[in-house]
Structures are given as structure tokens and as C-alpha cells.
Amino acid sequence: MKDFIVVHYDGNSTNLTYTDTEEDARAYLAALITTNQVSKNDTLSIVRVHDDYLVYFKRRNNTLKTVLGKDSQSSVSWTELMFGPLQEFFAKLFKKMGNLGVVFGSR
């Protein structure tokens, strides 16, 4: 199992990518930015799997500097966590996970 999950939410869909290291996760996000696959309103995050630690989170205006920089935002404020599109993101994510459970026969 990979150690990090990279999450890209564009307001409609969620893309999850698993990486071995934090550096690989940041490099993946940087590649998305440089290839214009991230718009200014997209939400990007990196989660460490073994303890669910939120390594990186930025709801808008992601840049190479914020993704690759050592001074990037490394945690979520309570207002960002409790309000805004993050709630919608998690609702859609859990709905998709529930749909996968139905497909694979669990209820």
C-alpha cells in the first residue's frame, strides 16, 4: 500500500492518486499545475495514509510555490474544514465509496 493519497477536486469530480513519498505527491501536484490540469478554483490536498494526517491543503489558487514550497499551508483551519466546498467534496467522496460497496456486493 502506498503511503500518501493525492486528492484533486475540481468542483465536480474527485481524483485520487496514491504515491510512496510526500515528495512524489508534491511532484505529482506540480505536474498537474504545469500541464494546466488544475484551475484556479480547484482544491488540492495530500494525506498521509497511516495516520490520516493532512500534509497539504489549499482550496484555491494553487501554485508551484505553494505545492513545492516548504512554507506551504500544512494544516486546515477549522473554518475551512467545517464550511465551504470541502463538505461537498467529502459528501461526494463517501457517496462514491458507498456506490463501490454496492458494486462489490457489500451492503
Structure-model confidence comparison of residues 52 and 69, the more confident one: 52
User: Tens digits of per-residue pLDDT, 16-62?
Assistant: 999 999 999 999 999 999 999 999 999 999 999 999 999 999 999 99
Mean per-residue pLDDT, 94-106: 61
What is the Cα–Cα distance from 32 to 16, expressed in whole angstroms?
13
Q: Which amino acid is at 9?
A: Y
Residue 74: what pLDDT? Answer: 45
Q: How many CB atoms within 10 Å of residue 42?
A: 19
In the chain, where are the structural domains located? 4-76
Cell numbers linked to 42: 480547484
Residues contacting residue 11 through CB under 8 Å, at least 6 positions apart: 41, 42, 85
Phi, psi angles (nearest 5°) of residue 91:
-60, -45
